[in-house]
Amino acid sequence: MVDHHAAARSLSSPGSETRPLGISLGDPAGIGPEIIVRALAARPDLNVRVFGDPGILAAAAARIGVASPPTNRVHAVHVPGAAGVMPGNPSLISARAQLAYLEAATDAALAGTVAGLCTAPISKDWVARAGFPFAGHTEYLAARAETTEFAMMLAGSRLRVVLATRHIALRDVPAKLTAPEIVRAAVLAARALVSEFGIGRPRIGVAGLNPHAGESGRFGDEEDRVIIPAIQAARRVLESEGIPAVVTGPYAPDAVFRQASLGDFSAVVALYHDQGLIPLKLLHFDDAVNVTLGLPFPRTSPDHGTAYAIAGSGRANAGSFLAALDLAARLASRQPPPP
């Protein structure tokens, strides 16, 4: 099992990455401020910059009884009215604030002034009301980085899942599941596992779409028509790039995630959102990390939302955010130095 805490400490050690990690505050009406101050209290030596409102962070720290982050760990981003946002009460003001925090943190990541980015949760509903045209963080960051080659990985200590499709209706999956999407997920996973996670020869299993992976066409033809050609294409790409990864499948979806959790695979390519997220959250509900593959900088986030129902109550579990912060530190420590 990877010692993320040790990796986080190494980010501040001599000879390692010296730029801070960027943290976007997320929705000030959600649990973001609380989990951030909890995490920073647990990692007092980690070099970070929180992009957000210092007053909101100080109020969250006071509510839960931890030290407020010092000024050298906060990059102040002030949005009119945001200081009056109450936990659990989202509004257009809180929506505009979370977008401002994200924009400032992303600007810093693209400029290279932070070594990576760990994002606290935003509300997809409220940012859409404020005019945000993206499905979520992943799509926004890819657009800002001007890349179409990106994928979402969900990572825990026992299971890593990479999604071929993301936030689309289940009824649309068969039509939108294409060989290029599967190839992209498998190739990006292999690149990241080798260069960022330090796995010398990763094994990637591709899930089938249908029960029993189609069982030779009895339960659907997507395996023969789309998935197998995609696996073959992914192998050719990886061979041409000299990446020593093994991509196999398609495997029965009801078994491949268990096989991966037992160590048979370094990651599984899941073909739609819930196919991958259900087993991932079963094993890693409190410590799963969302990693965006294909960006020019490391980006992680906790695998949960704003949790308005418990915001401000002091009951939010910071485990997933802390895991995301530690993994961001580990990934940043493996990045080449900025030019």
pLDDT tens for 261-293 read 999 999 999 999 999 999 999 999 888 999 999
User: Is the domain of 19 the same as that of 86?
Assistant: yes
CA-based R_g, the chain, Å: 20
pLDDT of residue 17: 64
29 and 113 both lie in a single domain: yes
Give the model's pLDDT for residue 336.
64
Report how far residue 114's alpha carbon sits from residue 17's, in angstroms, rounded to the nearest whole number. 10
Higher-pLDDT residue of 9 and 71 is 71
If DSSP codes are grouped into helix, strand and coil, which group holds residue 21? strand
Which of 294, 310, 325 delimits the end of a domain? 294
**Mean pLDDT over residues 290-304, rounded?**
94
Q: What is the pLDDT of residue 338?
A: 60
If asked whether residues 103 and 9 sit together in one domain, one would say yes
Return the structure tokens found at 7. Answer: 């990796």
Sorted by sequence, the CB contacts under 8 Å of residue 306 that are 6+ apart come out as 26, 27, 29, 30, 31, 32, 90, 121, 122, 123
- In what order do the strands lie in the sheet containing 74-76? 74-76, 48-52, 21-24, 117-119, 299-302, 289-293, 151-155, 160-163, 267-270, 203-207, 246-251
| pLDDT at 25 exceeding the cut of 80 | yes
Q: Same structural domain for residues 325 and 238?
A: no
Looking at the fold, whether 27 and 142 belong to one and the same domain comes out as yes
Picking from 86, 169, 91, 85, the residue whose alpha carbon sits closest to that of residue 127 is 91
Q: Say whether both 14 and 95 belong to one domain.
A: yes
Tell whether 141 and 1 lie within a shared domain.
Answer: yes
Residue 233: pLDDT band (50, 70, 90) is very high
Burial class (CB in 10 A: 0-12, 13-18, 19+), 233: middle
Pairwise CA distance, residues 28 & 23, whole Å: 13
Token look-up 């992680």 returns: 300
pLDDT in tens, 45-84: 999 999 999 999 999 999 999 999 999 999 999 999 999 9
6 shares a domain with 120: yes
Confidence band of 215 (pLDDT split at 50, 70, 90):
confident
* Overall average pLDDT of the 193-222 stretch: 90
Mean pLDDT, range 231-260, rounded to an integer:
97
Percentage of residues in the chain having pLDDT higher than 70: 94
The answer to whether 65 touches 39, Cβ cutoff 8 Å, is no
Instruction: Give the residue-averaged pLDDT of 219-241.
Output: 95
d(C-alpha 316, C-alpha 309), whole Å: 10
Q: Are residues 259 and 272 in the same domain?
A: yes
Per-residue pLDDT band for 213 (boundaries 50, 70, 90) equals confident
The pLDDT of 159-183, averaged and rounded, is 94
pLDDT higher than threshold 70 for residue 257: yes
Residues 94 and 167 in one domain: no
Question: Mean pLDDT in the chain?
Answer: 91
Q: Quick one: pLDDT band at residue 11, thresholds 50, 70, 90?
A: very low
CA pair distance 14, 171, nearest whole angstrom: 52
Report the alpha-carbon distance of residue 338 to residue 17 in Å, rounded. Answer: 10
168 with 227, same domain: the answer is yes
Per-residue pLDDT at 217: 76
CA distance 17 to 298: 13
Overall average pLDDT of the 96-117 stretch: 97
Phi, psi (deg, nearest 5) at residue 300: -130, 165
Question: For position 57, which CATH number holds?
Answer: 3.40.718.10
Clarify whether residues 29 and 44 are in a common domain: yes
Residue 170 lies in domain:
148-294
For residues 233 and 112, give the distance between their C-alpha atoms in angstroms, rounded to a whole number. 34
Tally the domains of the chain.
Answer: 2
pLDDT of residue 94: 97
Confidence of residue 139 (pLDDT cuts 50, 70, 90): very high
